[in-house]
C-alpha cells in the first residue's frame, strides 16, 4: 500500500525552525520582517530582520546533516552575504535549529534588541 492520495496515511514533515522562531517572536510581540531583502543589488534575504535597528537573524539549517550551509560553496556564499551585510551596517545573529528549539536563539535576540540602538 502506497503513501499517495487516498491511502489514509499522512506524510510527516520535519519541523521548520524558522516557523518555530517566528512563533516565539510573535509570542513576545517582537515585530520583525521575514525574508527581508537587505542588499541594494543582490537578492539576498535575511530570515528575520529588524530593519530600524539593522539587526537580523539567520537560522542555519542542515548543520548536522551536511546541509548547504555547512558545505564548501554554500558556506563560502554565506560568508560573502554576511560580509556584505556587515559592510552595510547590519548585525547578523546566526543560530541553529537546536538553538531555536532550546530557546537560546530567542534569549540572544532579546539581549541583542536591548543593546542595539
Whether pTM > 0.85 for this model: the answer is: no
Which set of grid coordinates corresponds to residue 9? 496515511
What is the DSSP code (8-state) at residue 67? -
Express each pLDDT in 44-91 by its tens digit. 999 999 999 999 999 987 554 555 555 577 789 999 999 999 999 999
CATH class, domain 27-115, is alpha beta
45, 59 in Cβ contact below 8 A? no
Domain residue extents for the chain: 27-115
What proportions of the chain, in percent to the nearest 5, are helix, strand and coil? 45, 20, 40
Amino acid at each position: 500500500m502506497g503513501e499517495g492520495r487516498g491511502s489514509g496515511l499522512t506524510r510527516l514533515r520535519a519541523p521548520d525552525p524558522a516557523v518555530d522562531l517566528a512563533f516565539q517572536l510573535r509570542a513576545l510581540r517582537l515585530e520583525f520582517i521575514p525574508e527581508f531583502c537587505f542588499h541594494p543589488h543582490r537578492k539576498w534575504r535575511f530570515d528575520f530582520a529588524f530593519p530600524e535597528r539593522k539587526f537580523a537573524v539567520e537560522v542555519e539549517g542542515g548543520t548536522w546533516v551536511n546541509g548547504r550551509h555547512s558545505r564548501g560553496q554554500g558556506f563560502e556564499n554565506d560568508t560573502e552575504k554576511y560580509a556584505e551585510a556587515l559592510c552595510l551596517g547590519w548585525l547578523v545573529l546566526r543560530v541553529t535549529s537546536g538553538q531555536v528549539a532550546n530557546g537560546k536563539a530567542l534569549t540572544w535576540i532579546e539581549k541583542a534588541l536591548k543593546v542595539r540602538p
